[in-house]
Structure 1
Amino acid sequence: MFIKDYISKDFPCFHLSDSIESARETIEAFGYTHIFIKKSHHFHGAIAKDFLYEEEGSLKNLEHQIERFAILEDNNILDSIRLFYTFDANVIPVINKSEKYLGYITCDDVFRTLSKYPLFSETGAIITVEVPSRKYSMTEIANIVESNNSKFYGGFISMMSDEVIQVTLKMSNENLASIDATFDRYDYRIVEKYYSDEKTDMLKDRFGFLQKFIEI
């Protein structure tokens, strides 16, 4: 899951001497949120799509709107999630340690990769539990699920403060009532359930769950 395995190169990287009009035409053709700027072969920054409609002339006129964000080719694809969220982007530039521009990855690359894993691909129940921060243990959470003969597909911290931690987890559909009771017995508060107590009408919108993960 290294970034370098997902690099695309067909979206051009512009120079400040290029025209805003050409950048506008390119970004409309690709449907991305940002264009990228380089000086020589080195990454200089990104300009959000909206700014391309505020000026005419060369991209030099928009240099004050450049944002500096990129990801290293040796990073894990999960490292890109914060950048997509922070900069409200659907495309991220990829650079090496010398800041040479190498290409880009897209939000779709992340979705396709993560969707292969059981946390997202398997049908199952999703719940969010809350526990005092001093008592948090992902090992204990997994053990509660598995001790009730259900499969633990994975989980992540969805909220964290000094007092409490909330964990969203995915499991198979077996023995859900027993799992709920065990969490209650171990002083976990169930904040949300993404399944019915009758074990029917299970939520199937995996994309919604993945989006929740991306936005953390």
Structure 2
Amino acid sequence: MFIKEYISKDFPCFSLTDSIESARDTLEAFGYSHIFIKKSHHFYGALAEDFLYEEEGTLKDLEHQIERFAILEDNNIMDSIRLFYTFNANIIPVINKNEKYLGYISCEDIFQDLSKYPLFSESGAILTIETPSRKYSMTEIANIVESNNSKFYGAFISNMSDDVIQVTIKISNENLSSIDETFDRYDYRIVQKYYSDEKSDLLQDRFGFFQKFIEI
């Protein structure tokens, strides 16, 4: 799951002397959210699509709009999720430790890879539960699910404060009522739940969970 295993190399990295028009034409052909810019043979930053329609000239004229974000080739694909969300991007530049542009990863490629894992691919139930921060235990949460003969596919902390923690979990569909009752007995509050056992709902289930994941 290292970034270097997902790098695509068909999207160019522009120079500040390149025209805005040529960058805009390339971006429209690929359908991505940003172009990438290099300076003195090093990666310099990314420029969002909207700025390419504000004026003509060279990319130097838009230098003040450049955002500095990229991911190292040795990072894990999980590290890319926050960048996609923070910069409202569907593409992220990949660089090496010397800040040389190597290519890019796309949100679509990462989503397709993650969707193969049971956390996303298995049909099941999604629950967001809340517990006081002082008594938070992922071990206890997993035990509650598994003690009711359901499978625990995975979880993440979706909200956290000094007082409470909310955890979103993905589990199989067995014994859901019993699981609800057990969480209640252990003083967990179920904030949100989505149950699905229809194969036709699999894609919606998968996408919905991925959306929750990237928004943390």
The answer, yes or no, to whether TM exceeds 0.5 is: yes
Aligned to 1:79: 79
C-alpha separation in 1, matches of 2:108 and 2:122: 19
Please, which runs of 5 or more residues in structure 1 have no aligned partner? none
Could you tell me which residue of structure 1 aligns to residue 110 of structure 2?
A: 110
User: How far is 1:41 from its partner?
Assistant: 2.7
The equivalences for 1:99-178 within 5 A come to: 99-178=99-178
The one-letter code sitting in structure 1 at the alignment partner of 2:207 is: F
Distance 2:135 2:102 in 1: 44
Deviation at 1:167, TM superposition (A): 0.5
Identity %: 81
Shift of the alpha carbon at 1:215?
1.5
SS for the counterpart of 1:22 is helix
Q: Which amino acid is the alignment partner of residue 29 of structure 2? A: A
Instruction: Tell me if the contact between 1:3 and 1:77 (Cα under 8 Å) persists in the aligned partners.
Output: yes
Q: TM-score, normalised by structure 1?
A: 0.95
- 3-state SS in 2 of match to 1:14: strand
Change (3 A) 1:137 1:179: same
Runs of 5+ unmatched residues, structure 2: none
User: Aligned AA for 2:78?
Assistant: L
In the TM superposition, residue 40 of structure 1 has moved relative to its aligned partner by 3.5
Cα deviations by residue, 1:5-48 (Å, 9 ceiling, x for unpaired):
00011011100010000000000010111100002431001111
The size of the alignment, in residue pairs, is: 214
Does structure 1 conserve the Cα–Cα contact (< 8 Å) formed by 2:130 and 2:189? yes
What SS does structure 2 have at the residue aligned with 1:187? coil
Deviations 1:54-91 (A, max 9, x none): 11111111111111000000000010111111111100
Q: Cα RMSD between the aligned structures?
A: 1.5
DSSP-derived class of the 1:89 partner? coil
For residue 7 of structure 1, give the secondary structure of its aligned residue in structure 2.
coil
Q: Where does structure 1 differ by over 4 angstroms across 4 or more consecutive aligned residues?
A: 199-203
Q: For residue 145 of structure 1, what is the amino acid of its counterpart? A: V
Deviation of 1:203 after TM superposition, in Å, equals: 5.2
**Kept in 1: contact 2:126–2:170 (CA 8 A):** yes
**Could you tell me how far apart the structure 2 residues matched to 1:32 and 1:214 are?**
18
